[in-house]
Amino acid sequence: MMSSSEQEAVGLYSGSIADLLTTKRSISSSTEIANTTQDNKRGESNDNMISLKNWQSCISQKLIVIWLDPNLSEFDYKYHDLIIQLRHITNAVQLFTHIDECIDFITSIEDGKFLFILSDNVAMTVIPLINDLSQVDSIYIFYHEEIKSEQRLSEWRKVRGVFADISVIFTQLQQKFRQYEQDLISTHIFSFGSVLDLDELDQSFMYSVLLKEILLEMNYDEKAKANFFKLLRDQNLGYQVDLSRIDEMEKNYNQHSPIWWYINRPFIYSILNKALRTQDVTSIIKMRFYLKDLHQHIEQVYSTVNKIETLIVYRGQSMSNDEFEKMKKSTGGLLSFNNFLSTTIDRKVALGFANSAQDDSHLTGILFDMEIDPSVSKTPFAPLKIVNDCSHCEDEILFSMHTVFRIREIEEIDNGLWNVKMIMTNNTDTQLEHLTNRIREEIQDPNALHRLGNLLFKMGQFDKAEDTFNTLLEMLSNDDSNELVYIYNQLGNILIEKGYLEKALSFLEKTLQISCRSSLSNHPDLATTYNNLGLVYNKMGQYSKALSFYEKTLEIQQNTLPSGHPEFATTYNNIGLAYDNMGDYPKALSYYEKTTEIRQKTLPLNHPDLANCYNNIGSVFQTMGNYPTALSYLEKTLEIQQKTLPPNHPDLATTFNNIGWVCHSMGEYSKALVYLDKSLQIRQISLPSYHPHLANTYNTIGLVYNSIGDYSKALSYYEKTLDIFQRTLPKGHPSHAETYNNIGSVYQTMGDYSKALSYYEQTLQIREKILPSNHPSHAETYNNIGSVYQDMGDYSKALSFYEKTLQIREKTLPPNHPDIAITYNKIGLIYNSMEEYSKALSYYEKTLKIQQKSLPSIHPALADTYNNIGRVHSSMNDYLNTISYYKKALKIQQAVLPFNHPSLATTYNNIGRAHAAREQYSFALQYYQDALKIQENALPSNHPSLAETYNNVGEMYRLTGDCLAAQQYYDKTLKIQEEVLPPNHPSLATTYSNIGQVYYSMKKYERALSYVEKTLKIQSKSFPSNHPSIAMSYYSMATILEELHRYKEAVTHMSQAVNIISHSMEPNYLQAEKYQQYLNELLAISSDEKLHKKTLREQ
């Protein structure tokens, strides 16, 4: 039953497999077509040039023949037959008559490896140009007349010889391509570093074995055969020589044995072994007809082999130096070949292949020395000398897929040439074999297509699994209700994984109707349907409905299954998911633990379903703020998945996403982006382009960019997230709310408070409609709205929203939950801003009490609280206690955070402010510079936090009278803010005000006035009209106008200041008194001035 799911912290196929598998009827299937473009680089057609589509194929093969000869022409009878002979060796041939065209071409291709045939009349010109290019592998000189400088040409390192007979060149090229195919044979060497690991094989071995078993069991007819030949033609479009050979093979297939075709038609073993090497499931399935024929022929030959004599065979190939270094550490370990494997009993022949690596310093030549005991070998092999039509290959032995050897000894034969001695073994990785058997049981079904679809699902190949079950649907007779229910269930589950929830719902509702009509009230398939319906409603945000279906599932299972059955684990897991999404984390954890307990008893310890358990538990701990525990569970998840899932499996992407989320929560932003990029790469390959899981990764990347101050990038990722959710999820889905919330957060940070409030209110509207009134997500929204009002200086409103937040969190979370502590912290900040310091301290003490009980003694959240307590003492002018608390924060941060973590810079800034308040400017400057050093290393050069620190440094220089230095730092501040902040952001107003103060100190009053006017202009747009900061700006303008002797204007502005401060949201009576006193002084001066002017007029 394909119905387990996992919690997430918030390869496309271009043909239908249905056409490949069905032998009864064809079906239509929507497919994705890759766009192809024509290479018009030279503006004309050239029959000698490979088409772009096929050229890309050649590049993937990497070995390309270039023939450069000014007289070369396919229409010249002297060359025509030679070119055909060359194309019998390889399709990857490029013909050139002009040197410049040839050089341009090879230098534009980075990935190719080129084999050059040069005519004698261009060799001396061309060789100096190409000999040192890394793309050039070998050069062969073909001369028509005797060359006097032959010895001089041969001195070039890559020249392989000067030849009068081109057939000798062709023979060497044939050997080169054969060597290349040898080197591509896929091996897996496991594992390194630990004796316990020496018997490990990689997960791709397991999946390819299971796939092979299914494909070999299936029966094939003429349609399957036709699909095979269609694949060969598709892979060789544009190559007339090979296309004619494919036609000949199709027509005369039965005239030769499968082994004969394999060794005599290079395009077959090239395409087949490439598909097996890269785990290209689509191509493997298309070739299943021939794969089965070849395997059975090898088995047939093997049945006649003498099983008594031990056999020694050899294989020579090159290997990258890095891969060989891994192999050297693996003596005693296992090595598997997933492909069909060609070997020889002639050591000299194998040695020749191994020696070819000596031309490349990046490669190591390997001579595999393999001992075969036929009496114990599970893998069949065929000595070609006893194959009727292959007796000319008397020294070759061909093994079928999945040979496993144990590495006995590795010794150096010569410089850069090594002998690896191995013995074929039936021993495999015990853990992997246990898991393979378990998965074999889970997909077991009399119908091979059922097994294939289920295996593809487990591999994360959802498109191919869907095609398989669609094929079964087409083949089904209408009266088989049990089979119809099974197929609809599987298609429903596949569509859930692909993110097509409405389509999935349609299939599952059909299933339910059939089951009810058939009186299958307690049938296991009905339990599967209920479970899958629960998954759909869970993903659609209808959690209560999801729970009701899970309870129905559980009821059937309790009536039909023994206690502890693995199916209970699936249902408990999904109930846990629902409670997790509803914010009831203790209940979610309880169900996840029940799931884990059953799976640990019934599954191999490396089973992917256990990884899902650890992932879900880790995600709950992440949500509950226990990051180290969360990370520990997610690392367990990743360890299992990397050993048991294909490398592009969507579940790996989920785990990378969740680890990235935890790293973000811990402030490790660079590390977070690395994991999220891994998640994104897998999802872009393995999922449809509008899958909700892709949106989840975009969302998390947006969070990281918001945290590092790159707001435009953050918004861009959130907009991508929203676009996907709006296309794929019902209107009003919780994920819409989460995305609106995150967009609001960016606008808040950017100082656009009205936009921020608008997005938070959209979030609230959705959540109020679909979530219980005490859901933790409401608390998050109230908290964020409160935070905007706090930034706007409306402390009463902010406090009311924080109190709503607290009310929900105290009802729904454990009493020592970190989120309750965060809310106390927020309320403390409000009381500090309202100058009710004893209340602020009281809330910080509550915060501290929870954190000391629920968090490690050196948790970063404790440092934040100490910082906030320090700020209260600073507001109370108690600077000794201020510095003491800041240093407590610093001590924790230095113990647990990287030395360049931005939070350390925040604390240095705080300590600097405390010293500045005590007029200890040199101490303050030192701390600001420490902060600056961290921020310049850890943050982007235009991060707003850098601007804040430049501002602080500037302030120190201003206060110590160095106005020029102050102005330089304020200019740096302004440059960043103008680049990254919207034009009406309050931080810009602060900077303009500070620059105004510098000009005031320099007695440049007109300039000072212009900057304060800019300040006031921004504040009037971004703050309420009675905000205290506006009053402060009017006060500053009054002081400047006084210096300019514009007393009447000064009085007007100061009257405004007094009016605002008296009617502000949180009246500050001391400030109001100070402002009134200054206004009185100005009025007196203004009155004196009037009197003076009147006296002058009278005189």
| pLDDT tens string 29-53 | 222 222 222 233 223 323 333 333 3
Mean pLDDT of 899-917: 90
Q: What is the mean pLDDT of residues 183-190?
A: 49
Torsion, Cα of 862, 863, 868, 873 (10° steps): 110
Give pairs for 1081-1084: CB < 8 Å, separation 24+. Answer: 1082/1038, 1082/1042, 1082/1047, 1082/1050, 1082/1051, 1082/1054, 1083/1051
Q: Which of 423-432, 761-770, 1068-1077 has the lowest mean pLDDT?
A: 423-432
Q: Which residue has the tokens 């609001």?
A: 744
In angstroms, the CA 571 to CA 553 distance is 7
Which residues neighbour 95 within 8 Å (Cβ) at sequence distance 6 or greater?
48, 49, 67, 72, 74, 83
Q: What is the pLDDT of residues 671-682, one digit of tens each?
A: 899 999 999 999
Statement: residue 872 has pLDDT above 80: yes
pLDDT band at 448 (very low <50, low <70, confident <90, very high): confident
Q: Is the dihedral of CA 235, 236, 242, 243 positive or negative?
A: positive
Q: What is the pLDDT of residue 764?
A: 93
Q: What is the pLDDT of residue 267?
A: 81
Short-list 505, 484, 496, 483, CA closest to 457: 496
Q: Which of 702, 656, 700, 651 is nearest to 678 (CA)?
A: 656
What the block records as the tokens of 275 is 């598909």
Mean pLDDT, the chain, integer: 81
Strands in 136-142's sheet, in edge-to-edge order, are 93-96, 63-68, 113-119, 136-142, 159-163
Q: How many helices (H) and strands (E) does the chain have?
A: 48, 14
Mean pLDDT of 81-95: 81
pLDDT on residue 906? 93
User: What pLDDT digit, counting tens, does each position of 363-394 carry?
Assistant: 888 999 999 987 777 788 998 888 877 777 76
From the list 102, 269, 245, the residue with the least C-alpha distance to 180 is: 269
- Compute the average pLDDT of residues 1050-1079: 86
285: exposed, middle or buried (Cβ count in 10 Å: 0-12, 13-18, 19+): buried
CB 276 within 8 A of CB 338: yes
> pLDDT at residue 691 above 50?
yes
pLDDT band for position 1026 (cuts 50, 70, 90): confident
pLDDT single digits (tens) 114-130: 999 998 888 888 988 88
Lowest mean pLDDT among 36-40, 428-432, 776-780, 1035-1039: 36-40
Burial class (CB in 10 A: 0-12, 13-18, 19+), 540: buried
- Report pLDDT digits (tens) over 143-157: 866 555 555 666 777
Instruction: Kindly state the tokens that stand for 894.
Output: 């230095």
Average pLDDT over residues 426-448: 66
Could you report the per-residue pLDDT of 454-479, keeping only the tens digit for each?
788 877 788 888 888 887 787 676 66
Measured between alpha carbons, how far is 117 from 114 in angstroms, rounded to an integer?
10
Beta strands at 334-337 and 187-190: parallel, antiparallel or unpaired: antiparallel
**CA 137, CA 173: separation in Å to the nearest integer?**
11
Show the 3-state SS of 253-278: HHHCCHHHHHHHCHHHHHHHHHHHHH
**CB–CB of 205/338 below 8 Å?**
yes
Percent of the chain surpassing pLDDT 70: 84
* Average pLDDT for 321-350: 84
Sort residue 900 into left (φ over 0), alpha (ψ -120 to 50) or beta.
alpha
Q: Is pLDDT of 184 > 60?
A: no
pLDDT tens digits, one per residue of 162-172 = 888 888 888 88
> Would you tell me how many other CB atoms lie within 10 Å of the CB of residue 769?
9
739 neighbors 715 (Cβ within 8 angstroms): no
pLDDT bin (cut points 50, 70, 90) of residue 54 is: very low
End-to-end Cα separation, the chain, in angstroms: 108
Q: Do 698 and 724 touch, CB atoms closer than 8 A?
A: yes
Give the pair of three-digit tokens for residue 457. 């699902």
CA of 965: how far to CAs of 618, 959, 962, in Å?
50, 11, 6
Residues 6+ apart with CB under 8 A from 319: 183, 327, 357, 363, 364, 366
497-524: pLDDT as tens digits: 887 888 888 888 888 888 777 655 666 7
d(CA 957, CA 952): 9
Spacing of C-alpha 249 from chain mean position: 44
Cα separation values, 57 from 111, 267, 271, 569, 977, Å:
12, 12, 11, 46, 50
Using alpha carbons, select from 552, 546, 482 the residue that is nearest to residue 514.
482
Structure tokens at 363: 């490669």
pLDDT of residue 807: 93
The Cα-based distances of 503 to 59, 335, 401, 768 in angstroms read: 40, 44, 39, 27
Whether residue 1095 has pLDDT greater than 80: no
Q: Please answer whether residues 298 and 382 qualify as being in contact, where contact means their C-beta atoms are separated by less than 8 angstroms.
A: yes
3-state DSSP helix/strand/coil % of the chain, to nearest 5: 65, 10, 25
Nearest to 208 by CA among 273, 276, 282: 276
- What are residue 65's DSSP bridge partners? 93, 115
709 vs 941: CA distance, rounded Å: 10
Is the separation of the CB atoms in 939 and 710 below 8 Å?
Answer: no
Domains of the chain listed by start with CATH number: 1-27+447-595 (1.25.40.10), 52-184 (3.40.50.2300), 187-428 (3.90.176.10)
Q: Which two tokens stand for residue 1096?
A: 């002058």
Whole-number Å distance between alpha carbons of 150 and 369: 39
Nearest residue to 889 via CA among 874, 877, 944, 215: 874
Region of poorest pLDDT, from 91-95, 840-844, 1022-1026, 1064-1068: 1064-1068
Going by C-alpha positions, the residue among 52, 63, 53 that lies closest to residue 14 is 53
Find out whether 138 and 176 touch, Cβ atoms under 8 Å. yes
Q: What is the DSSP string of 202-255?
A: -HHHHHHHHHHHHHHHS---HHHHHHHHHHHHHHTTT-HHHHHHHHHHHHHGGG
Give every CB contact of residue 995 below 8 A, 6+ residues apart in sequence. 967, 970, 971, 974, 1011
Provide the residue type at 522 as one letter: N
In the sheet with 363-372, reading across from the earlier edge strand, the strands are 187-190, 334-337, 403-414, 417-424, 363-372, 311-320, 341-344, 396-399, 381-383
**Helical residues (DSSP H) of 792-836, grouped into ranges:** 795-812, 818-833
Mean pLDDT of 527-534: 88
**The residue type at 888:** K
Give the list of residues 6+ apart from residue 731 with CB closer than 8 angstroms, or none.
Answer: none
Nearest to 871 by CA among 828, 927, 904, 903: 828
Which two three-digit tokens encode residue 2? 């394909």
**pTM of full prediction above 0.85:** no
Number of residues that this document lists for the chain: 1099
Q: Is the pLDDT of residue 435 over 70?
A: no
Q: According to the model, what pLDDT value does residue 511 have?
A: 83
- Please tell me the distance from the alpha carbon of residue 1045 to that of residue 1050, in angstroms, as a whole number: 9
486 pLDDT tier (thresholds 50, 70, 90): confident
